[in-house]
Each structure stands twice: as C-alpha cells, then as structure tokens.
Amino acid sequence: MKVGVVLPIGGGDGPAGGMPSWPDLLAMARATEDSGLDSGWIADHFLYRGPDGSESGMHDAWTALSVVAAATSRIELGPIVLCASFRNPVLTAKMAATLDEISGGRLVLGIGCGWHEPEYDAMGLPFDHRVGRFEEWYEIVRRLLAGERVTYVGTYHRAENAVLIPTPARRIPILVAAKQPRMLEITARWADAWNTAWYGNPDDRVQEQLAALAAAEAAAGRTAGAIERTIGVIVRDPDQPVAEPDERSLTGSVDDVARALDAYRALGAAHLQVILEPMTPRSVERLAEAVRVIHG
C-alpha cells in the first residue's frame, strides 16, 4: 500500500493556521520525498464561502503542482481532485501531458465533478447537470491522453479534430473521486483509480463505499479489483498544536496510527492520501514512522 501526503495550499494549512507560503509548500513536498513516502497531492478550489458568509481561499492547484514537480524527483503527484467544471477538457488534457513530462512520468490525474456552488457563481459557471457535464468532459480528456484524435459533439462539450502534439509519453493514470451511483458508474467504466474521503479510523462508511464501488465495477464488467482503491485519511499529531482540528481525524501514538493504516490496507486500500494536522515536516516524519512500523 502506498501512502502520500496532501500538501499545504490553502488558508489554515500554514503555520499557526495561516496561509502557507511557497517555502512552506516546498518544505512539505521535500519532506514527503525525503521521508520515503510515496506521493504528494494538492486540493483544487477557487474559494470556500460558508453559509455565514465567511470566506477562505487557496493558491491555484495546477500552478502549485508544477512547482512541486520541478522541485522533486521521485514521489507521485496529483490533484485531489481537479474540478472538471473549472477547465476546458482539451486544455486540461494538454496541461496533464505537459505536467507529466515535467515530472518525468509521475502524474496521477485526479478529477471530480465539483460540489461547492459559490465557486461556480464566482466564475460565472453553470452549476446544473454537473455529472452529465463531467461525463462528456472526462471522455474527451481520456481519449486525448490515450493518443486519439478527437471530434466530439455533446450536450455540454465540443471538440473538433483535437489532438495532443506532442503525444503523451505514457498512459497517464486517471483517478476519479466518486460517491453517488452515477459517478460510481462512470468511474467503474473508465477509471484507473478511485478515491473516497475523508476518514479517521476505518469505519462502516468506508466499507459501504468500498462495497458500492465493487458493485459498480461488477456491473460495468470490470475485473474485481481492476480499479485501484485510494482513500483519504486525516491524521493528527497530538503533540503539535492545531488551530482548528477536524473531529474526524485519526489521532494517537505512532503505533495507533500504524494499526489504523494497516486496517485500511486489510480493507483493500492500495493508496492513502493523508491530510496531516498540522501540515508540518515533523508531521510528515511521524507518518513515515508509522508506515515503517507497518512494514516491519
């Protein structure tokens, strides 16, 4: 089982719960690589606007991934996950092929259909039929990344004689974050990997989502386990202060964390993406220590 880290990109992720600087991001990425962990992930949002009018934001995910790709050499990299609604599918495929080249073949293209309506309002984007729009968007992206020349006329998206030049150097894996039946159906048809998040200790919710994916996989005629299972987990270090701890987080000793991670492995998780509380190099090393306990 691979274990990676969600890197600091937004308000609350930096020191003392503030906005992280670029040095903070790079320090976490390099700590992830140096500690022997497997991957670094970056969230993709324009802003978050709460029901009470409170607002928080973050830096751009793709720009940040490009910086991390140039500053590291080993860990896999990906968005967790890229909002399909925000970007044209042909341009997204081009961006993915370029970032995969910059990183030396380390990109996992994580994608989803979006959920936070205030972001759509801010950018003047339609919020309706998000799954239908995603399905068309995804088909164009995956076909271009497979090296096809694409002409596509859908209800929401169009592409005319589109082709990626240069052709991607490899088949870039695509991960889909999905929970509801129709998104799971799309995932089961085409995806290389699937993500469900966010959890602390493994619980019934995780097992229900794993069972739902397995059922969708079987209905789509895919071989059982063909889609890589990835799970987002929140891990808190009780010895470091956290400005706004998440009540879902997994906490306890390094051995406690190791036992929980191993329980995810027993459930069939192939890759864990971990939000650390707080997001510090010390937290990265503590997570790496837990992983070493699992491996003996």
Mean pLDDT of the chain: 97
Q: How do beta strands 39-42 and 193-199 pair?
A: unpaired
Is domain 2-295 in CATH 3.30.559.10, yes or no? no
**DSSP for residue 145:** H
pTM higher than the cut 0.95: yes
The verdict on whether omega for the bond into residue 126 sits within 30 degrees of 0, i.e. cis, is no
Phi-psi region of 183 (alpha: psi -120 to 50; beta: other; left: phi over 0): alpha
The verdict on whether omega for the bond into residue 6 sits within 30 degrees of 0, i.e. cis, is no
Question: Tens digit of pLDDT for each residue in 245-285?
Answer: 999 999 999 999 999 999 999 999 999 999 999 999 999 99
Query: Residue 52 — φ and ψ, nearest 5°?
Result: -85, 5
254 class by beta-carbon count within 10 Å (0-12 exposed, 13-18 middle, 19+ buried): middle
Q: How far apart are CA 249 and CA 257, in angstroms?
A: 11
115 contacts 43 by C-beta, under 8 angstroms: no
In tens digits, what is the pLDDT along the chain, a chain of 296 residues?
A: 999 999 999 999 999 889 999 999 999 999 999 999 999 999 999 999 999 989 999 999 999 999 999 999 999 999 999 999 999 999 999 999 999 999 999 999 999 999 999 999 999 999 999 999 999 999 999 999 999 999 999 999 999 999 999 999 999 999 999 999 999 999 999 999 999 999 999 999 999 999 999 999 999 999 999 999 999 999 999 999 998 899 999 999 999 999 999 999 999 999 999 999 999 999 999 999 999 999 87
